[in-house]
């Protein structure tokens, strides 16, 4: 596809899919290698057909999903697109509880679905890590942190990139279909941070709000509450800020970038499963 992945998400979401709104984080840190975000989905605001995307970047995204059909229900999803020039992204690692496969349709690439029945009202974290390889490729990894602070490595994908670092950092809430548009989907996104390869970290407290092209029945809203941003779509009300650049309070507390977790080690990430057979494309929800 010719569009950047991030743009395609917005564009297609407006025309083919349902409503979405997005937060685009400001950062002036150069050569970002890690992007950390926390998500807490509001209880009762997570009907099926919702993607709470936390860690979006140029070339991929990562978040928690409530799928529209199939038996898996809730999943954690980490996707990396092929390069726009057609160069395929390749799998370097697939976590032992991940279903790793190619996807097509809205761009092509590889994704990992982790069948984790996440719970609304619980704070989870997602960490995206980019390791530039000096040959025009970058290894991009997705790590999900459970309630007990243990990390799970979903997958590592090698992507041909124009810039070897993480850029275009964003989050969104989306209903990828027109299913249950009468029900609100809402989440808090908090404590965003980035770090670069010289171990310099920056907290991301400012974001720009955008949304898909709306029809009259579409509802959305966003804002900041304490140290979190919130985003919602669908339902019956709007909460549209007067200024589309939103600022949250800083926590000043650097996150667990090195994934020491609650037990001082990275769990379930070391054994390689990259030879594992990929499964067929999932039929519901997002790529």
Ligand X SMILES: *[C@@H]1O[C@H](CO)[C@@H](O)[C@H](O)[C@H]1NC(C)=O
Residue 116 to residue 152: CA distance in whole angstroms? 11
Closest residue by Cα to residue 227 from 244, 250, 204, 246 = 250
Q: Is 249 helix (H, G, I), strand (E, B) or coil?
A: coil
Q: Which stretch binds ligand X (CB under 6 A): 90-98, 195-203, 243-251, 255-263?
A: 195-203
How is 51-116 classified by DSSP, letter by letter?
Answer: EEEEEEBTTEEEEEEE-SSSS--EEEEEEEEPPTTSPPPEEEEE-TTEEEEEE-SSS-EEEEEE--
Say whether residue 180 binds ligand X (CB under 6 A). yes
Stretch near ligand X under the rule CB under 6 A, chosen from 149-157, 166-174, 178-186, 218-226: 178-186
Q: Which of 56, 164, 221, 261 binds ligand X (CB under 6 A)?
A: 164
**182 is a contact residue toward ligand X (CB under 6 A):** yes
Q: Tell me which stretch binds ligand X (CB under 6 A): 1-9, 118-126, 151-159, 190-198.
A: 190-198
Q: Which residue has the closest beta carbon to ligand X? A: 31
CA gap 154, 45 in Å, rounded = 25
What x/- string results for residues 19 through 58 when contact with ligand X is judged by CB under 6 A?
Answer: ----------xxx---------------------------
Contact with ligand X (CB under 6 A) among 26, 96, 200, 249: 200
- Cα angle 189, 198, 82 (rounded to 5 degrees) comes to 60
- Whole-number Å distance between alpha carbons of 128 and 142: 5
Judged by CB under 6 A, the chain residues 202 through 221 that form the site for ligand X are none
Tell whether residue 198 is a contact of ligand X (CB under 6 A). Answer: yes
Interface positions with ligand X (CB under 6 A): 29-31, 164, 180, 182-183, 196-198, 200
């Amino acid at each position: 596809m010719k569009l950047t992945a991030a743009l395609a998400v917005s564009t297609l979401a407006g025309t083919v899919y349902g409503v979405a709104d997005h937060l685009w984080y400001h950062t002036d840190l150069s050569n970002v290698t890690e992007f950390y975000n926390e998500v807490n989905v509001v209880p009762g605001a997570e009907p099926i057909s919702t993607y709470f995307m936390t860690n979006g970047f140029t070339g991929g995204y990562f978040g928690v999903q409530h799928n529209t059909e199939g038996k898996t229900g809730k999943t954690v999803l980490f996707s990396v697109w092929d390069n726009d020039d057609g160069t395929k992204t390749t799998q370097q690692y697939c976590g032992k509880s991940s279903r790793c496969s190619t996807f097509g349709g809205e761009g092509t690439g590889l994704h990992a679905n982790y069948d984790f029945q996440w719970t609304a009202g619980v704070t989870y974290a997602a960490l995206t890590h980019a390791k530039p390889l000096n040959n025009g490729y970058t290894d991009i990894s997705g790590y999900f942190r459970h309630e007990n602070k243990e990390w799970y490595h979903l997958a590592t994908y090698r992507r041909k990139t124009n810039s070897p670092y993480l850029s275009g950092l964003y989050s969104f809430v989306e209903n990828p279909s027109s299913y249950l548009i009468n029900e609100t989907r809402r989440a808090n996104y908090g404590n965003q941070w980035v770090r670069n390869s010289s171990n310099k970290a920056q907290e991301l407290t400012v974001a720009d709000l955008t949304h898909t092209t709306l029809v009259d029945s579409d509802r959305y809203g966003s804002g900041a509450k304490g140290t979190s941003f919130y985003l919602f779509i669908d339902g019956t009300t709007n909460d549209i800020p007067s200024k589309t650049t939103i600022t949250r309070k800083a926590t000043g507390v650097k996150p667990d970038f090195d994934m020491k977790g609650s037990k001082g080690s990275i769990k379930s990430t070391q054994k390689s499963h990259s030879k594992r057979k990929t499964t067929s494309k999932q039929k519901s929800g997002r790529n």
